[in-house]
Amino acid sequence: MYVLERGKLVEKKVTEILPDARRARELGDAARRRWTCDASGGRFWTALARWTQTTTTVEITVALPKGTRARDLRITLTTTSLTFWATWSGTVDACSGALARRCKVDESTWSCDGDELMIILVKDDGGRDGVPWQSVLRGSKGAKSIQDVLRDMTHADEPYAASDDLDLETKSLCEDIRDRQRMLANGELLDPSQDVDFKIGLGLR
């Protein structure tokens, strides 16, 4: 039998190949057992998975045993639930159940590149006025602290334009606002909301 080694075909006996294949299979089995242990032992969201969100999506990334293929996994999504199943562990309870909030099934996707699973849920109530998710699933599965949620949302979407990229009118307005805030802080300018004469003047107009 010939095998490819360093770009060259090398003749080997079957008895020489089998131990290597057996060793690779044993390493793969050991990696899957460790993965299953972490997933079922309450370490799924700390050791194997992480998630972030934007105003419109929730993105879940799961580390997988090396060599995992898409056909080894089954991701089932509905508007209100997520089920994660793997050939070596069955249903992964830590990443299965009722979603914290509804998603748009037709727009949500998942993919596997062999070492990582990516699940992208499109929020049903997404947008700048939408409610941020504090966990992926109900029952606090994958829950984050309020501080972590705020951090996610702060960096959720495209950053605001840099000052140098603003047009002249907008730059002038920003500078005027900064000047007024500085003057108010230094007591050089009276806050119009507290100025009785200012309020009366407005009322007479």
Q: Render pLDDT for 43-59 as a digit per residue (tens, 0 to 9).
A: 899 999 999 999 899 99
Residues 56 and 140 in one domain: yes
Residues 128 and 179 in one domain: no
Lowest-pLDDT range, 51-65, 79-93, 117-131, 168-182? 168-182
Is there a contact between 44 and 95 (Cβ–Cβ < 8 Å)?
Answer: yes
Residues 110 and 91 in one domain: yes
Residues 98 and 56 in one domain: yes
CA distance 33 to 89: 8
Residues 51 and 150 in one domain: yes
Secondary structure element (H or E) that encloses residue 7, with its range:
none
CA distance 121 to 55: 11
* 205 falls within a domain: no
* 170 falls within a domain: yes
CA distance 72 to 117: 11
The pLDDT > 90 percentage for the chain reads 41
Query: What's the domain count of the chain?
Result: 3
Residues 135 and 91 in one domain: yes
pLDDT of residue 198: 44
Per-residue confidence band for 167, with pLDDT thresholds at 50, 70 and 90: confident
pLDDT of residue 203: 47
Residue among 137, 134, 131 nearest 149 (CA): 134
Which of 154, 172, 191 is where one domain is finished?
154
CA distance 94 to 137: 9
Residues 27 and 62 in one domain: no
Q: Checking DSSP bridges between strand 73-77 and strand 57-63, what pairing results, if any?
A: unpaired
Residues 53 and 145 in one domain: yes
Tell me the chain's radius of gyration from C-alpha atoms.
28
Q: pLDDT digits over 131-156, tens only?
A: 899 999 998 788 998 888 888 888 77
Residue 170: domain span: 163-200
CA distance 134 to 198: 45
